[in-house]
A and B are shown apart, each in its own frame.
Chain A
Amino acid sequence: MASKPPSRDSAPGRKSITAAPVLDADAQKRADFAKAASKQYGRGEQIRTKSVRDKKLRSNLKALEAKNQEAAFQAKQAEILLDNEAGLLETEHELEKTYRVRQDEIQQEVSIETAKKRFELKLDMGPYDVGEYTRNGRDLLLASRKGHLACLDWRDGKLGCELQLNETIRDAKWLHNNQSFAVAQKKCVYIYARDGVEIHQLKKHQEATHLEFLPYHFLLASISTAGMIRYTDTSTGQMLQELPTKLGPPTSFCQNPHNAVLFAGHQKGLVTLWSPNTSTPLVKLLPHHGPVRAMAVDKSGTYMVSASQDRKLSIWDIRMFKELHSHHLKQPAHTISISDRNVTAVGWGSNLSIYRPDIFSLTPDSDVRVPAPYMNWGGDGVGISRLRFCPFEDALGISHAKGFSSIIVPGSGEPNPDSLEPGTNPFESSKQRQESEVHALLEKLQPEMISLDPNFVGNLDLASEEQRKRERDLDAKPDDKIAKLKNKQRGRSSALKKYLRKSGQKNVVTEEKVRAREALEAQRAKVKDRFEKEKEAFGPALGRFARKA
């Protein structure tokens, strides 16, 4: 306790008594804060710098650790900028249940703007299987099985396009922004612009039943009725990979937004994890015994919720690959959606149950057999076909047999959008959209970077030399330089000439050089020959216009 100079201390002595412990508590608080920061934002454990022998390395690592800590500290401090708080419906006493709260009750209580998020679109084009939001939650894509297709800015009520395709629509997905979307139709996958113009027909994506779009890799993936997973790079238009699952027609399909691994659900209760880099699945799970009807993975890539025809709802930790919990529903669920804040909606029959985020804290040992839902909806005989939480909004989109309903689910949306992330700014202007599109393209991740651990890039390769040797293709033909060089032919800097010029001493004769010379001669002869022919063809008067090279 440093004593203050008496001249400054005008307060009576009593005050200074209390001042001492306050200082301590402050320090304690700060230490706690730093600890919490490094736990939350520290990105793994610190390394022990003391045991490092090399002095320079040690000091460097120390500086690095200090930097990391500082970064974590600042990140924690920056939380103050997240000024919107998340929360859920809360009851006043135990007898009150949140699942008894009805939508109209909520709508009465909330602000006008929020109340507007609850709406109903009554469409009579048959079951609407698709209701998808863009990543910033501004636009909505609706598609009915019978071929009705519409995209709209749902908050402004502006219609982008409305089409009748006169063909079965199995699935539809927005691409990287609200300017285009892919539709899996009866035979192929098509890409439409926002105004309804068909831009592409992806003929190779035959009979796709489900679509997924990986926004950071610009990959459109589809799984076909035959169980073939196909990847197309939408930035280049190239077909990337075709992976046969060999497990029959798929029953569900979803992506892990954390690491861009695709999850395919199969008839026999299997769930397989796919990346475009392997022909075999990365992982095979068996959460169910019947067809896996629906799956969803949370934003952090930690949990998967799946439902099957045997009415089981299973919650898995997909980092550990362990089942956390499972229970039976009254009816088999066929659509699941997990919101940004881990609120989970499960649609079964014409009902819909929404669970709190704490279902993910269940363990096999916990006593809760069946978690109580947070909210309920439906039950009026209209079959629900797809649920999607609207990003950054407390709204849940339900596409059902009679159209589309948006309901308010308090606490489901992420209250603090990250406007730096391309494509996720809900207040984006068109300029910003264009800008972020370019940025996203420049920062596009390569498909080879897809792996179960998305942080693997730059890590040390732990394979033994033997293994690497085995992997190296020893039988591969050495690539022929000269053959490649033949392609560029014109002018002084034709590839062959350049090669001969640059390949060093003139008096050294190597096989490659000889071949290069021969190739050059042949080229010249060919040119000359062509010239002669041309001259002859032009005739004596026009012969001089024949081109020499």
Chain B
Amino acid sequence: MPPRLTHSSLPKGKPSKAKPAGRAPKKAAKRALNAFSIASHDTVDRSKGRKSRLGESDVDARRKRPRDDEEEEDEDEDEEGGAVKRRKQGRGNDSFDEGSDSEGNNWKMGHVDDDDESDIDSDEAFGESDEERFEGWTFRGSQSNRKGGKVKKKSRDVDMDDGDDLDLDEGESADGEEDDDDLGDDAIDLATALDQWEESEEETKPKKGKKAKKSKSAFDDSDDDEPSEVDDLAADGAGDFDSEDDEDDDKQERLKDLISSLAAEEEEKSAPWKAEIHESSAPSEFGVMRKIDLANFKSKIADPERKKALKLLQDDKPSTKRNDLSRKLEAPLPKRQQDKLDRTAANEKANTTLDRWVDTVKHNRRAEHLSFPLNQVEDGGRMGESRLLPTTTADPTNELESTIQSILQQSGLSNGKEDEEKFQQWETLQTNKLPLEEVLKRRAALRKERELLFREEVRAKRVKKIKSKSYRRVHRRERERLMQRERDALKADGVEVSEDEREYNDRRRAEERMGAKHRDSKWAKGVKASGKAAWDDDARAGVTEMARRNEELRRRIEGKDVRDEDEDASDLSSEEEDDDEDDDQTLNRQVGRLQENPFSTDKSKLGSMAFMQKAENARKKQNDEDIERIRKELAGEESNSEDEDENSTKAGRRKFGPGSKAAAPAIQVRGSEFEERAASESEDENGVPVNESTKEISTGRHRLKPSRNASDNFESSAQNPYLVQAKKSKSGAEPDLALQAFDTIAATQDEPEPKPKSKKKSKKSSAKASADQEADHGLAGNPTISTPDDDGFQTVTYNDDSDDIENEGIDLDLLTRNHALTASAFAGDNVEQEFVAEKAAVALDDDTQTTTTSLPGWGTWAGSDLSQAQKKHARHAGYKTTTVVEGVNAKKRKDAKLDRVIVNERRQKANTKYLAAQLPFPFENREQYERSLRLPQGPEWTTKRTHQQATKPRVVVRQGVVGALRKPLV
């Protein structure tokens, strides 16, 4: 390649433009060295020849660089820097087979060079601009050199170069924008090339644009692109190449001419283009710049419009002294920085794409269970796995289905989708056949439906607007307040509220009272819900009172009509009421009404039938009796009749106590027991205790509940009559008990004259004195037991009405004997007292223990000549230590408030084995932790599904291909 060799010498031939060679040889050398070292580092595989070429080029560049270039403007620098870059890239491409790696490396070499240079002595000697310019030069030199080297080395390389050039030409021509060629660095004198052929960059620019686009579309496009270019090359490479060779000399001449002729302005104009080109250029495109078709260039610049534009551009910029040098090239960013920028850009890009996945990843990470392969919605591959679609709607998806379908079709069973379509078609046809009126009617119906629906919607909206009770209340209050204010204002003005209004208000209030409101009060509801009225006297009284008031109110407001209704409706309730009604008047009235209006008076057919009338009569009779009885009771007379009726029994029972009015509590308890037993005795063979009767008693009368405080153990023991008796008779230590004991003894050993049972009434009077006494101690009604007669039988007498006892027909004899016997049997063991004592002892034992130990004499003087006081002091003084063993405070014991219970407060040491020594980490308190353990996992305690969910492994891998997600799931 002779021309290239000559090119390298060209700068020397043009000393005016090139820098004096000896200006900064040292630096140049340094840079070269640097570059070399770096390059050798970076590209280990590079051949030696190439390296040397680079070094040479550097030296050349140094030599050429002018000193004054420092005053270049930044803009220019930028532009030219871009240009330089471009060129460098081009060269890189030249030297290697095409491929991104090789390009990058090659480019890097030169580049790193620059970087180092600037680092070293940018401040001292050169402005950056200078360097850039030099680089420009360097390239040319280096390229020529390199080309020479190449020639020496390999002919194939050269071919490649040529090919590149050709290719680039081609590209330009293909663009059709300009026919001019790129800067063939090797072909031109460097200075002129710099000055003139900025335009070449112009041409490359569109290409670059393309490139950029490509690179946008894909990150690693460059690899793919280049081969195509190579192909292009191959297509028309040869011709171009030949022509170049031939015309080389001529070119030089023409170049010179051109350089002289071309205005500096033009160069300037082209500068901005260059800059753009370089910034975004990809290394593979550099080859474009190498070839120059001068004629083309010229013609282009001659284009008047373009010139104008360029001029305009140029006018903006401040003029530079030396036009040729103003084509400075800004140094490309150091590779490392550039890479960094690239990386950040790429990173941003990648992040935006990755961000789409964040949700999915998070979701999967937090998911309780994952099953692989993840079912991806868009897969759709496994049709029919999740659900079966009817063959009529879906096309057969696989072979099997299609075979089946075909079989079905052949057998005339189904035509699949077509069938359905046919049906539809038929239907539409049918509708077409319908008469117009019919269609209209249908449409009207449909419209009506829609209308209704719409109205419904509107209504729903309105309903929604209706607010809650409290909302209304608040608003009403507000309204009332306003009204009141208004009224006040009126009053102040002297206008009185009218009579009518007041009446209206009253009426409203009355209506409200009458309405369901007070009936639905909280209390009433509570009573109803708890069923309290069934047994609680107070509650029942309250209820009846309420009902009565309600009645009254209604009557008062509405008058007689209502009462009549009421009479019909409420005879049952009035019957209920009459027990507790305090108002005798009303009661009597009601009873009277009852009698007037017997149970039913309907004269229907059924009612007129014989048996119905009979039943009715019977019923009426009974009712009449009842009414009569009630009336009597109201009048104050006691019914002595012995009914099986519960009410009457209850009435009879009432007199069980000694004084029928005042009943002492203790006897109540006892009495009930007796009664129970009596009743049970009366039961046939089983001796069933009847509780209904006792229930009656309890409701009928005020009863003292046994107290259950820990404090009064004795009282509670008194509840057990046997024990009380026994204790008294035996211990007799406590004064209270002694008194009671006396009573019991009196009761049990009352043995003056054994009397027959029938004469109990007379007995009653004789025993009255003791009865009074007994009543004081809650032992009233104690049976009096006679001494055993000849047969060993005792007579037991109660201080009661004889009627009652006889009525019951109980063998009280036996019962009381039993009582007495059991009482005496357990008399000796003061179980309760012992228990209380034990509990106290345990509480004391478990309480906090303080022990004081002293070392007498410790810390005091000893000796014979101590004063009396000192001796005394020494005796008491001493080293004292107190040890406190924390225990459970007696008041904080679990059994502190429990009667007849001692709970062991000691720690169960064996159990601690299964306790967590400390709160496990993520939990903040005990509740959280213990709650987390509460749900058992075993199949015995939960449903199967819960169990399976609880024990399912976190990750399940099923058969299939676990592939990457294709698109975010969330």
Is B931's CB under 8 angstroms from A467's CB? no
At the interface with chain B, which of A167-175, A295-303, A361-369, A486-494?
A361-369
Q: Is B913's beta carbon under 8 Å from chain A?
A: yes
Q: What residues of chain A lie closer than 8 Å to B456, measured between beta carbons?
A: 3, 13, 16-17, 20
Query: Are B919 and A52 interface neighbours, CB within 8 A?
Result: no
Please state if A53 and B686 are interface contacts (CB–CB under 8 Å).
no
Q: Does A200 contact B (CB under 8 A)?
A: no
* Complex Cα spacing A61 to B706, Å: 48
Contact B834 A268 (CB under 8 A): yes
Shortest Cβ distance from residue B811 to the other chain A in the assembled complex, whole angstroms: 11
Chain A positions 50-108 with a Cβ under 8 Å from a chain B Cβ: 52-54, 56-57, 60-61, 63-64, 67-68, 70-71, 74-75, 77-78, 97, 99-100
Q: Is B970 an interface residue (CB 8 A)?
A: no
Chain B contacts of A447 at CB under 8 A?
Answer: 910
| Whole-angstrom distance between the Cβ of B682 and the nearest chain A Cβ | 13
On whether the beta carbons of A372 and B691 are closer than 8 Å, the reply is: yes
- Whether B829 and A268, one on each chain, are in contact in the complex, defined by CB atoms closer than 8 angstroms, is yes
Are the CB atoms of B832 and A365 closer together than 8 Å?
Answer: no
Smallest distance from the beta carbon of A167 to chain B beta carbons, Å?
32
Q: How far is the CB of B653 from chain A (nearest CB, A)?
A: 13
Whether A373 lies near B688 (C-beta < 8 A) is yes
Taken together as a complex, chains A and B put the C-alpha atoms of A455 and B941 apart, in Å, by 13
Tell me the chain B residues, 654-669 only, with Cβ under 8 Å from chain A.
Answer: 669
A71 and B942 contacting across the interface, CB-CB below 8 Å: yes
Chain A proximity of B931: nearest CB distance (Å): 5
Which residues of chain B from 897 to 938 have a CB within 8 Å of any chain A CB?
Answer: 898-904, 906-919, 922-924, 926-935
Report A-chain residues with C-beta under 8 Å of the C-beta of B909.
277, 471
Closest to B838 in A: A284
B876: Cβ under 8 A from any A Cβ: no
Complex: A28 Cα to B929 Cα, angstroms: 32
Q: Which of B450, B691, B901, B940 contacts A285 (CB 8 A)?
A: B901
Bound form: Cα–Cα A296–B907 in Å:
27
| Min distance, Cβ B214 to any Cβ of chain A, angstroms | 46
Q: Does B538 contact A (CB under 8 A)?
A: no
A6 at the interface (CB under 8 A from B): yes
Question: Which of the 9-residue segments A231-239, A306-314, A404-412 touches chain B?
Answer: A306-314
Q: Are A286 and B886 in contact (CB under 8 A)?
A: no
* A310-B822, A312-B720, A463-B912 known; A60 vs B922 contact (CB < 8 Å): yes
Contact yes or no, B688 A99, CB < 8 A:
yes
- How distant is the Cα of A401 from the Cα of B686 in the complex, in angstroms? 19
A12 within 8 A of B: yes
CA–CA, A341 and B455, complex, Å: 55
Interface of B is mostly: helix
Q: Are B449 and A6 in contact (CB under 8 A)?
A: yes
Q: Please report whether the interface of chain A is mostly helix, strand, loop or mixed according to DSSP.
A: loop
Bound: A460/B930 CA distance, A:
7
Partner of B689, one of A13, A320, A322, A372: A372
Q: B719: nearest residue on chain A (CB-CB)?
A: A326
The answer to whether A52 and B686 touch across the interface, beta carbons within 8 angstroms, is no
Given contacts A277-B908, A283-B903, A369-B673, contact A56 B922 (CB under 8 A): yes
B771 to chain A, nearest CB (A): 24
Task: Give which listed residue, B460, B834, B895, B907, contacts A20 with CB less than 8 A.
Answer: B460
A458's contact among B449, B464, B688, B914, by CB below 8 Å, is which?
A: B914
B406 on the interface (CB 8 Å rule)? Answer: no
| Residue A112 CB within 8 A of the other chain | no
Residues of B within 8 A of A47 (CB): 927-928, 931
Point out the residues of chain A lying under 8 angstroms from B446, CB to CB.
6
A12 in contact with B449 given A268-B831, A310-B825 (CB within 8 Å): yes
Whether A369 contacts B934 by the Cβ 8 Å rule is: no
Q: Are A459 and B906 in contact (CB under 8 A)?
A: no
By beta carbon, the residue of chain A nearest B722 is A310
Within 8 A of B (CB), among A426-448: 447-448
Partner of A448, one of B722, B911, B932: B911
Contact B904 A13 (CB under 8 A): no
Bound state CA distance, A455 and B934, in angstroms? 8
Which residues of B have CB within 8 Å of A373? 688-689
CB-CB < 8 A to A20: which residues of B?
456, 460
Contact of B946 with A by CB under 8 A? yes
Contact assessment for B901 and A284 in the assembled complex, using a CB-CB cutoff below 8 Å: yes
Whether A196 is near chain B, meaning CB under 8 Å from some CB there, is: no
**Taking the complex as formed, is A403 at the interface, i.e. its CB lies under 8 A from any CB of chain B?**
no
Of B723, B831, B886, the most chain A CB neighbours within 10 A belong to B831
- Known A-B contacts A75-B942, A420-B939; the reply to A323 vs B900 at CB < 8 A is yes
Question: In whole Å, how far is A328's beta carbon from the nearest beta carbon of chain B?
Answer: 6
Contacts A286-B831, A310-B826, A421-B940; A372 near B916 (Cβ below 8 A): no
Q: Is there a chain A Cβ closer than 8 Å to B782's Cβ?
A: no
Q: Give the number of chain B interface residues (Cβ < 8 Å).
A: 94
Q: Which of A243-284 contact B (CB under 8 A)?
A: 268-270, 275, 277-278, 280-284
- In the complex, A459 Cα to B692 Cα: how many Å? 48
**B672 interface residue per 8 A CB criterion:** yes
Instruction: Say which residue of B825, B903, B915, B932 sits within 8 Å of A461 (CB atoms).
Output: B915
Name the one of A74, A455, A459 contacting B946, with C-beta atoms under 8 angstroms.
Answer: A74
CB distance from B448 to the nearest CB of A (A): 8
B685 CB-CB contact with A under 8 Å: yes
Q: A9-B449, A47-B931 are in contact. Are A78 and B943 (CB under 8 A)?
A: yes
Q: Is residue B452 contacting chain A, with contact meaning CB distance below 8 A?
A: yes
Closest residue on chain A to residue B822 by CB atoms = A310
Task: Using A321-B895, A456-B914 as known contacts, say yes or no to A282 and B904 having CB atoms under 8 A apart.
Answer: yes
Which residues of B lie under 8 Å from residue A335 when comparing CB positions?
none
Report B-chain residues with C-beta under 8 Å of the C-beta of A477.
none
Q: Which residue in chain A gives the minimum CB-CB distance to B834?
A: A268
Contact of B690 among A284, A309, A372 (CB under 8 A): A372
Q: Which residues of A contact B914 (CB under 8 A)?
A: 448-449, 456-458
Tell me if B694 counts as interface (CB < 8 A to partner A): yes
Taking a contact as CB atoms closer than 8 A, the residue among B677, B722, B915, B939 that contacts A330 in the complex is: B677
Name the residue of chain B whose CB is nearest to the CB of A312. Answer: B720
Contact pattern, A 25-58, Cβ under 8 Å of B = 1, otherwise 0: 0000000000000000001101100001110110
Complex-state Cα separation, A455 to B936, whole angstroms: 11
Q: Does B567 contact A (CB under 8 A)?
A: no
Q: Is A451 in contact with chain B by the CB < 8 A criterion? A: yes
Given A330-B677, A379-B687, A456-B914, check contact A283 B904 (CB 8 Å).
yes
Question: Which A residues lie within 8 Å of B933 (CB)?
Answer: 458-459
Of residues 189 through 210 on chain A, the ones whose CB sits less than 8 Å from some CB of chain B are: none
A163 CB to nearest B CB, Å: 36
Contacting pair A376 B705 (CB below 8 A): no
Give 1 or 0 for each of B686-707: 1 = CB within 8 Å of chain A CB: 1111111011001100000110
Instruction: Decide yes or no whether B835 CB sits under 8 A from chain A.
Output: yes
Partner of B904, one of A44, A278, A286, A327: A278
Report the minimum CB–CB distance from A394 to chain B (whole Å): 20
Q: B453 interface residue, CB < 8 Å from A?
A: yes
Assembly CA distance A466 to B885 (angstroms): 10
Write out the residue numbers on chain A whose beta carbons fall within 8 Å of the beta carbon of B906: 278, 280
Whether A57 contacts B449 in the complex (CB less than 8 A), given A280-B904, A365-B705, A418-B940, comes out as no
A449 and B908 alpha carbons, distance in the complex (Å): 10
Find chain A residues with CB under 8 A from B885 CB: 470
Asked if A290 is at the interface of the complex by the 8 Å CB criterion, the answer is yes
With a cutoff of 8 Å between Cβ atoms, the chain B residues found around residue A364 in the complex are 705-706, 708
Give a binary string over B418-439; 1 marks a CB under 8 Å from any A CB, 0 the rest. Answer: 0000000000000000000000
**Known contacts A57-B924, A71-B935: A289-B904 contact under CB 8 Å:** no
> Which residues of B lie under 8 Å from residue A372 when comparing CB positions?
688-692
What separation, in Å, do the CA atoms of A100 and B690 have in the docked complex? 12
Q: How far is the CB of B559 from chain A (nearest CB, A)?
A: 38
5 new A-B contacts at CB < 8 Å, known A6-B450, A71-B935, A421-B940:
A20-B460, A369-B673, A448-B910, A456-B914, A471-B907
- For the complex of A and B, the 3 pairs showing the least CB-CB separation, nearest first, are A13-B452, A277-B910, A461-B915
A-B contact pairs, 11 of them (CB 8 A): A6-B446, A9-B453, A16-B456, A71-B946, A283-B903, A286-B901, A287-B900, A289-B826, A367-B699, A368-B695, A372-B688
